[in-house]
Structure 1
Amino acid sequence: MTKPGLYDDGMEWLDVSTENCPVQRTLDLVGEKWTLLVLRDAAIGVHRFEEFRRHMGLSEAVLSDRLRKLTAAGILRTVPYQEPGHRARNEYRLTRKGWDLWPVLVALRQWGDTYDPDPEGPVLDMRHTDCGAPVRVVVECADEHVALTPRDVTARPGPGARPYRGAAVSK
């Protein structure tokens, strides 16, 4: 029996550098609370600066910063609009890259409804449009399309894994 975290080649997870970890890189882009809430609202159909600000109670400075970062990262794009008698402004729309974060948002909602539910019930009731069944996020096998648990998955260092070169850790 191998020790937990020990891979076939003898390398342990703690021997792998996390400097190029995709979870870390993703959190660098979207890991701030307000950023995820902007993405939540954009996915539900909020597009205008004032709507985001009013709905979330967010300061103009923080909202401007988050929208700027998300646009620079290619997660949101701006679409100009102009109401009669007013100056031109931009709406914010999710790009394909932004929509690819939608399952993450649904998973966070699902976790919150399960482990920290509101006593009155879910704030957002998400259902499949065609059949009306509740929507849920699952991890599945790409070939067999069956739901997987952590016990069904083997994680190994991939081709981008680099040796950890940090301070020595006592064993």
Structure 2
Amino acid sequence: MLGILGGDERCPIARSLDVLGEKWTLMIVRDALAGSTRFSQFQQSLGVPREVLTARLGSLVEGGVLERHAYKPDGGRVRDEYVLTEAGRDLSLVLLALGGWADRHRPSERTSDLRFVEATTGESVEAVAVTRSGHRRVALDALEAVMEG
């Protein structure tokens, strides 16, 4: 697959955007993280046109974020549902960070109906940066991007 930066496979952000960089994609992942699996659930929640939703679901399956599983409702025909893969579940951290950014820099008077919580306690969580070696928390204003090579 040719990447968005002309095939530059070195940049992890460019590689991520090859799968996730289209409008609606992360909103579909958000809904999947909240339990949606069926085409009709995504369409009702997002209001996205059918052909766009079909294309985005296909690209998420191709990108390894979702898997198609067949199901047959009572009296109905066989349909696909879309289940998050491990890669898809890992995007919860990305959405958590994006939501935190929006809360800080693009606040809204309307309260979101989506929260991320610790599963056993129900306590709200936030995205943080930690060092790989010692898992020491690093303040966002102390982060620095370094381009090597």
Q: TM-score, normalised by structure 1?
A: 0.75
Number of residues of Structure 1 aligned to a counterpart in Structure 2: 142
Shift of 1:87: 0.2
Which protein has the larger Cα radius of gyration, Structure 1 or Structure 2? 1
- Structure 1 position 131, deviation (Å): 3.5
Distance change in 2, residues 1:22/1:81 (3 Å): same
Structure 2: how far apart are the matches of 1:47 and 1:154?
A: 36
Q: Can you list the C-alpha shifts for 1:39-97, whole angstroms capped at 9, x where unaligned?
A: 11111101000110111001110000001111111111011111111101011001111
User: Scaled by the length of structure 2, what TM-score is found?
Assistant: 0.85
Shift of 1:125: 3.0
In structure 2, what is the equivalent of residue 96 of structure 1? Answer: 86
In structure 1, the partner of 2:44 is 54
Gapped runs of 5+ residues in structure 1? 1-17, 162-171
Counterpart check, 1:141 vs 2:127? no
- CA offset digits 1:7-36 (Å, max 9, x no partner): xxxxxxxxxxx9221111111110112011
The residue correspondences of 1:61-140 to structure 2 (distance < 5 A) are 61-140=51-130
| RMSD of Structure 2 on Structure 1 (CA) | 2.1
Provide the C-alpha distance between the structure 1 equivalents of 2:91 and 2:22, rounded to a whole number of angstroms: 14
Q: Any unmatched runs of 5+ in structure 2?
A: 1-6
Deviations 1:106-159 (A, max 9, x none): 1111111222222143332333233343210011012221211353557352xx
1:108–1:143: structure 2 CA closer, same or farther, 3 Å change rule?
same
Partner amino acid, structure 1, of 2:14: Q
> Equivalents in 2 of 1:109, 1:135: separation in Å?
11
